[in-house]
């Protein structure tokens, strides 16, 4: 099992570029805004103890919701926002340009980058954030070793993700995730296939326990995973 339901990384990149213009709107509708609360919690855990001017990697930065939230919480942080879907990053840069209080370009830099071969030096960052990215990686062990390489020893990594549940949740998995969510995604973006991919990718992904084991194998020592409200739909993993 590769950790991705797509046949290749190129498939996933094309899919995200295809829905980039409506991606944020779809997220707000499908999560009823709860995704912003999840990010806030994860970023609080990420930044604790890193000082006022941390160097942060946002891996799978997409349309820059995470990078913007980090900047608002730590205005002097230097953020590298990396994603292999270049159109998602273009949408994010347009959001920065429209926001008069947004971060100056020197504080949020966007990079088209592959998580399996990150273009950063070893120990380049004090911490890393990733929201709903790792499930889409073709070779998860390789990508996690890269993440471990670019974050300094003692630095913090905060990862938000939908992990494969221990047991099937009838209401969420059997009804909302498999039936309602694809229809909502289709209604907002016009792309039904992309939102069929989401429940398929969750079903084929690792469980939270399996993912924590992969982090240990990659070299992370202190690992804490927790399910988030409501009903453990998403989980937060903090590692260092």
Backbone phi and psi for residue 6, each to the nearest 5 degrees, phi listed first: -75, 155
Mean pLDDT of the chain: 87
Q: Residue 172 in contact with residue 202, Cβ under 8 Å?
A: no
Which whole number is the average pLDDT over 56-65? 97
Structure confidence at residue 119 (pLDDT)? 97
Structure confidence at residue 17 (pLDDT)? 94
Supply 195's token pair. 């939102």
Specify the higher pLDDT residue, 204 or 146. Answer: 146
Give the pLDDT band of residue 3 (cuts 50, 70, 90): very low
Which whole number is the average pLDDT over 40-52? 95
Q: Residue 58 in contact with residue 66, Cβ under 8 Å?
A: yes
Domain ranges of the chain: 9-239
What does the pLDDT look like over 169-192, one tens digit per residue? Answer: 655 555 555 666 666 676 778 887
Specify the higher pLDDT residue, 195 or 1. Answer: 195
CATH of 9-239, one of 2.40.128.130, 3.40.250.10, 3.40.50.2000, 3.40.50.150: 3.40.50.150
């Amino acid at each position: 099992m590769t950790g991705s339901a797509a046949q290749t990384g190129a498939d996933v990149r094309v899919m995200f570029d295809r829905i980039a213009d409506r991606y944020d709107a779809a997220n707000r509708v499908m999560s009823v805004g709860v995704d912003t609360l999840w990010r806030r919690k994860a970023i609080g855990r990420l930044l604790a103890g890193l000082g006022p001017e941390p160097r942060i990697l946002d891996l799978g930065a997409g349309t820059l919701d995470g990078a913007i939230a980090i900047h608002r919480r730590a205005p002097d942080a230097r953020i590298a926002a990396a994603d292999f879907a270049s159109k998602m990053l273009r949408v994010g840069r347009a959001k920065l340009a429209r926001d008069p209080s947004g971060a100056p370009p020197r504080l949020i830099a966007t990079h088209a980058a592959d998580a399996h071969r990150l273009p950063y030096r070893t120990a380049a960052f004090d911490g890393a954030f990733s929201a709903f990215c790792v499930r889409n990686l073709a070779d998860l062990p390789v990508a996690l070793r890269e993440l471990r390489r670019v974050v300094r020893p003692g630095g913090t990594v905060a990862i938000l993700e939908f992990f494969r549940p221990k047991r099937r949740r009838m209401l969420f998995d059997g009804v909302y995730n498999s039936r309602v969510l694809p229809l909502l995604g289709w209604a907002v973006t016009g792309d039904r296939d992309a939102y069929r991919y989401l429940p398929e990718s969750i079903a084929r992904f690792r469980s939270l326990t399996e993912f924590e084991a992969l982090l240990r194998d990659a070299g992370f020592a202190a690992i804490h995973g927790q399910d988030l409200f409501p009903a453990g739909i998403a989980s937060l993993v903090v590692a260092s």
